[in-house]
Amino acid sequence: EAKRQGRGRWTFFDRALEAETRRRRTLSEALRRALEEERIEIALQPQVRLADGEHVGFEALVRWSRDGVPVPPSEFVPIAEETGLIVLLGSRVLRAALAAIGAMLARGLEPGRLAVNVSSPQLTDPGFVRMVERLCREARVSPARLEIEVTETVLLDRSAARIAEVLAELRALGATIALDDFGTGYASLAHLQRFPVQRLKIDKSFIAAIDRDGREAKIAATVIGLARGLGMEAVAEGVETARQRDWLAAQGCAIGQGYFFAPPLSVEAAAEALARRWTHEPRAAVVPLPRL
């Protein structure tokens, strides 16, 4: 009886595993086709300085629809990382995002910084830094506008030493480095010190906790203090409410990003938002003019 049950269970797990393997293969093949056919897009989500609400930059987020249905990056990015497709995917995202920023600059707009998410297989790919340089040149965007977002897991990667070198090379070009989803991984302060990091992005799970006044809100406060102590800036991701914005600003968090300010926008909508802001809130309103 026990044996039969055991075998039944085995078959169940076997089938589930097989279905999962099949799903992953189908998805990676579809993604490969989408890359070949240049059907990968990006969205741009604004980042705002909490002290005064000024626009300071955009984060580029990859977007892919399969048969008209958007596939969440949380589903296909891990598969792209496992299959190596992430190297091509990442370069497409970078190219598209830089082109968007270059077009804004050509219109006389000030897009601020451009943050892009980069995975470890991209950082260990031999031509990565040269490719970044070339794409910036082609888009007429200074690498100094670029912020490379890496997650904590990158610091624990078996190629961490090589990755630290690559990040230093990117720093030398003028780019900045941000640690994404900070607080969810297992990186220690010792790891943090070994990497040239300028910004800590507090994971949105801790930001959501602010409205509940929970223990996790204390984590957000601690990360903000840690960033300040290390001479870095804290960036809050997933800011959804005015209460969160006010709390973060009071704690000294430098930058916010989230639905409260703006969702990830199409490239066109991002440029329009910037253009509207520019005409409605001219710099003259901020810089006090001499009285006549």
Q: Is residue 154 within 8 Å of residue 160, measured between CB atoms? A: yes
β-bridge mates for residue 235, sequence order: 201, 255
Please state at what angle helix 86-106 crosses helix 267-280, rounded to 10 degrees.
Answer: 30
Tokens 């960036």 appear where?
235
Joined tokens for residue 77:
């990015």
Q: Which stretch binds Mg ion (CB under 5 A): 40-48, 96-104, 234-242, 257-265?
A: 234-242
Report d(CA 259, CA 195) in Å as an integer.
30
152 binds, among Mg ion, ligand C2E, none (CB under 5 to 8 A by kind): none
83 near ligand C2E, rule: CB under 6 A: no
Q: Is residue 200 within 8 Å of residue 227, measured between CB atoms? A: yes
90 binds, among Mg ion, ligand C2E, none (CB under 5 to 8 A by kind): ligand C2E
Sole binder of ligand C2E in the list 68, 72, 229, 288 (CB under 6 A): 72
Q: What residues from 106 to 125 belong to the interface with Mg ion (CB under 5 A)?
A: 117
Q: How far is the CB of 257 from Mg ion (least distance, A)?
A: 9
Report d(CA 19, CA 71) in Å as an integer.
18
Q: Which stretch binds ligand C2E (CB under 6 A): 3-11, 67-75, 241-249, 283-291?
A: 67-75
Residues forming contacts to ligand C2E in the complex (CB under 6 A) are 45, 61-62, 72-74, 77, 86, 90, 93, 117-119, 149, 180-181, 204, 237-240, 258-259, 264
